[in-house]
Amino acid sequence: MELLCPAGSLPALKTAIDCGADAVYVGLKDDTNARHFVGLNFNDKKLAKGAQYVRDHNKHLHVAINTFAHPGEEKRWFNAVDKCVDLGANAAIIADIATLDYAANKYPDLELHLSVQASATNTAAIDFYQQNFNVKRVVLPRVLSLHQVKQLARNTSIDLEVFAFGSLCIMAEGRCYLSSYFTGESPNTVGACSPAKYVRWQETEKGLESRLNDILIDRYQANEKAGYPTLCKGKFTVDSIDNEEKILYHALEEPTSLNTLSILPELFMANVKSVKIEGRQRSPAYVEQITKVWRAAIDNYKQSPADYKVKADWNAVLANVSEGSQTTLGAYHRDWQ
C-alpha cells in the first residue's frame, strides 16, 4: 500500500519524503489544480527541484491537473500535461475529459489517475475512463461506504486510491457547486472552494462572525474555537412544517476531519493500492506529523497484521491537526450517513 502525501510547497514536499511518504502529489501555480491558493504550489523552477528530490529518494511524484478546462483556454491544461511528462512525473491526476483525451493520445506511456473531482463512484463510470483513456487508477470520492469500496475492489480491475485523512468533503467531489453559488468561483472552474478572498471575520456584539461573500457562515462565542468558513460547515436553521422552534445546527456537516486509521486493515484487505492524505494547503509541520503517523501505522500493520491496533498517541497527533479537533470515519461508516 502506497502512502501518498500532499505537498503545496517545496519544504512540504521534502518533509513528506523525509518522513516516509511513498509518493507525493503537487499542483502547478495556476488554475489547473483544485488547490489554486495564493502562495501555494510550484512554479517551474521549484517543480524541477521537487521532482529531482523525489527521484533522488526513489519515491514517486504525482501531478494534479484536476480542474476543468475552460473553453478556448484548453492549452493551459494541455501544457500542464506536457510539463508533467517533461518532469518525468510518475503519474498525472486528471479530472477533465478533454485533458484526459489529450494525455492519453499524446502520451500513451504516461500513467493516468482519475482525479476524485471526476466523481467516479461505480463500475460503469470506471469502465468509461478505463476504456476511453486507459486510466490506471481511480481516486474514489468520499461518499462511498467501506462496503461499497470493497464491492468496487471486487468488481473492477483498476487500482483504487482512497482518502485516508484530512478535511472532509461531504459532497461527491467535482459535483458540488455550492461555492460558486455563494461566490461565483468553484473547485471545478477556478480550483478553490470557499476562496479566501471572499472570507471576512468580524467581531460583533453577538460574537465573532465568519462570512463568505458577505453571507453569514458561523458565529462564535468567546469559548468556541473558530474555523475556516467552508460554506458547507456553517451553522444554519431549517424551516419546520409544524411551527416547531427552529434549531440552529450544522445542517450539512460539522467542522471535522476524516480519519481512517481504525479501518486500515480493511483497506489493506480490500486491496486498496494507495491511501491519500488531504492537505496541499497545509503547512510542512502538518505534513510532517501526518506522514509520520501514517508511516508508523502502515508499517505496524505490515509487520504483524493480526496485532494491528490504533495507538492513542497517533490519534492524539491527528486530532491536534484536525478541523474542530475532531475526526470521523465519514461515509466509510454507514452511521455517519
Partner 1 sequence: MKLSLGPLLYYWPKQTTEDFYQQAMSSDADIIYLGETVCSKRRELKARDWINLAKELNHQGKEIVLSSMALLEAPSEIKVLKQLCENGAMSVEANDIGGIQLLSEKKVPFVCGPAINCYNAHTLKLFVNKGMHRWVMPVELSRDWLQKALTDAEKIGIRGHFEVEVFAHGHLPLAYSARCFTARSENKAKDDCELCCIKYPQGRATSTQEGQQVFVLNGIQTQSGYCYNLLNDIESMTGLVDVARVSPSSMDSLTTLHQFKQRILGAEQYVKHDNLQCNGYWHQIAGLSLQG
Residues 182 to 211 in contact with partner 1, rule: CB under 8 A: 182-184, 186, 188-189
Per CB under 8 A, 37 contacts partner 1: no
Please state the φ and ψ torsions of residue 155, each to the nearest 5 degrees. -105, 5
Least distance from C-beta 80 to partner 1, angstroms?
15
Which residue type is seen at 81? Answer: V
- Cβ 280 to partner 1, closest distance in Å? 21
| CB neighbour list of residue 77: distance below 8 Å, 6 or more residues apart | 32, 65, 67, 69, 96, 98, 99, 102
DSSP annotation of 33 reads: S
Q: Do the Cβ atoms of 8 and 40 come closer than 8 Å? A: yes
CB atoms within 10 A of CB 109: 5
Q: Least distance (Å) from partner 1 to the CB of residue 119?
A: 7
Longest dimension (CA), the chain: 66
H or E element, residue 77 = helix 74-87
Q: Looking at beta carbons only, is 129 or 301 nearer to partner 1?
A: 129
Q: Which is nearer to partner 1, 236 or 268 (CB)?
A: 236
CB of 246 to partner 1, least distance (A): 8
Q: Which long-range contacts (CB under 8 A, 24 or more apart) does 295-303 make?
A: 295/3, 295/19, 295/20, 295/21, 297/261, 297/264, 298/1, 298/3, 298/264, 301/264, 301/265, 301/268
Q: Is 311 in the site for partner 1 (CB under 8 A)?
A: no
By CB under 8 A, tell whether 123 contacts partner 1. yes
- Nearest distance from C-beta of residue 98 to partner 1, angstroms: 3
Question: Per rule CB under 8 A, is residue 125 in the interface with partner 1?
Answer: yes
H/E stretch holding 2: strand 2-6
| Min separation Cβ 43 and partner 1, Å | 26
Sign for the CA dihedral angle at 163, 56, 298, 296 comes to: negative
Stretch that binds partner 1, among 13-21, 237-245, 256-264, 276-284 (CB under 8 A): 237-245
User: Helices 97-106 and 74-87: crossing angle, nearest 10°?
Assistant: 40
> Minimal distance in Å, beta carbon 238 to partner 1?
5
The three-state secondary structure class of 219 is strand
Residue 296 phi, psi dihedral angles, 5° rounding? -60, -45
Q: How many residues bind partner 1 (CB under 8 A)?
A: 72
**What would the x/- binding string for partner 1 be over residues 314 to 333, using CB under 8 A?**
----------------xx--
Residue of 118, 135, 162, 192 that binds partner 1 (CB under 8 A): 118
For residue 146, the Cα-to-chain-centroid distance in whole angstroms is: 18
User: What is the residue type of 51?
Assistant: A
Residue closer to partner 1 (CB basis): 55 or 333: 333
- Confirm or reject binding of residue 69 to partner 1 (CB under 8 A): yes
> Would you give the distance in Å from CA 4 to the centre of its chain?
11
For partner 1, the binding residues in 76-115 under the rule CB under 8 A are 95-98, 101-102
Binding pattern to partner 1, positions 238-257, x when CB under 8 A? Answer: xx-x------x--xxx----
Nearest CB to partner 1, comparing residues 96 and 159: 96
Q: How far is the CB of 131 from partner 1 (least distance, A)?
A: 8
Which one of residues 220, 228, 236, 268 is an interface residue with partner 1 (CB under 8 A)?
Answer: 236
- Using the rule CB under 8 A, which residue among 87, 112, 120, 160 binds partner 1? 120
Site for partner 1 in 141-180 (CB under 8 A): 142-145, 148, 151, 155, 170-172, 174-178, 180
**C-alpha cell belonging to residue 94:** 486528471
Nearest to 126 by CA among 113, 109, 111: 113
